[in-house]
Amino acid sequence: MSSSNKKIIIIGATSGIGRALAGLYAGRGDTVGITGRRHELLNEIQQLYPTLVHTQCFDVTGSDNITHLESLLQKTGGMDVLIYNAGYGEVSKTLQWELDKKMVNINVNGFIEIVNYAFNYFSKQGHGQVATTSSIAAIRGNSQAPAYSAGKAFQSVYFEGLYMKAKRMKLNVHVTDIQPGFVDTKLAQADKLFWVAPVMKAAKQIVKAIDNKKRKAYITKRWWLIAQLLKIAPGFIYHRMA
């Protein structure tokens, strides 16, 4: 639990993990700014916590992300934590360009523009925390959705760089890379899934990891084991599976 009211910005909060995070933070009394493409879904959340939740409707693939973000910050009175939860993944068995392009625009281009802004904002402010909902898929390539795993790897490697930069610049800015396994959301599309976590269970573990300022967190915790196996699996074995 937070010891005092914090200002939490969640990029991508209309459904799934983002929506659950918004409810958890607002439920404990934090001021929450939420974004997404669907105005009606943002309003649904805002109506549940009318004095704590503020909304800004925009698509991270657009050209005015920072304008929208700054507008939201005016509504919330600033920010202490930014969570980049906007994400898109879809199986691309025949390597369709439109799918790859959409995944890169959301998981890479939108991500780096907003996170770069947030890191510099916190540097000037003197404190803050950036978090991203990456994926266990960031660890290795995947034949079913190569752009998705590559985009999530981009996020995780960028966050490692930010962590080192904050340390070297002696900034009070914390960096948290969240790597979920399978969570019961629309992104979990495969036919045979295992260890699928309920959305609320995953969200609670994410909030705890952010509160504890973890540099990296596997969600749920047992996915740490899968992560270690993926890292050490020889190519001739892994390439048959993925």
**Residues 123, 134: Cα–Cα separation, whole Å:** 23
Note the pLDDT of residue 192: 56
pLDDT in tens, 25-56: 999 999 999 999 999 999 999 999 999 999 99
Of 52, 22, 47, 50, nearest in space to 36 by CA? 22
Ranges of residues in the chain whose predicted pLDDT is under 70: 1-4, 185-195, 238, 242
Note the pLDDT of residue 116: 98
Residue 80's alpha-carbon distances to 2, 37, 168, 175, in angstroms, are 12, 23, 21, 12
Of 204, 198, 201, nearest in space to 184 by CA? 198
Q: In the predicted model, what is the mean pLDDT of the chain?
A: 91
Note the pLDDT of residue 186: 57
Query: What does pTM read for this prediction?
Result: 0.92
**Measured CA angle at 174 (ends 169, 178), to 5 deg:** 135
Bridge partners, residue 174, by sequence? 129
Note the pLDDT of residue 242: 65
**Measured CA angle at 220 (ends 127, 212), to 5 deg:** 25
Domain 7-241: CATH architecture, name and number where available: 3-Layer(aba) Sandwich (3.40)
Domain boundaries, the chain: 7-241
Bridge partners, residue 53, by sequence? 32
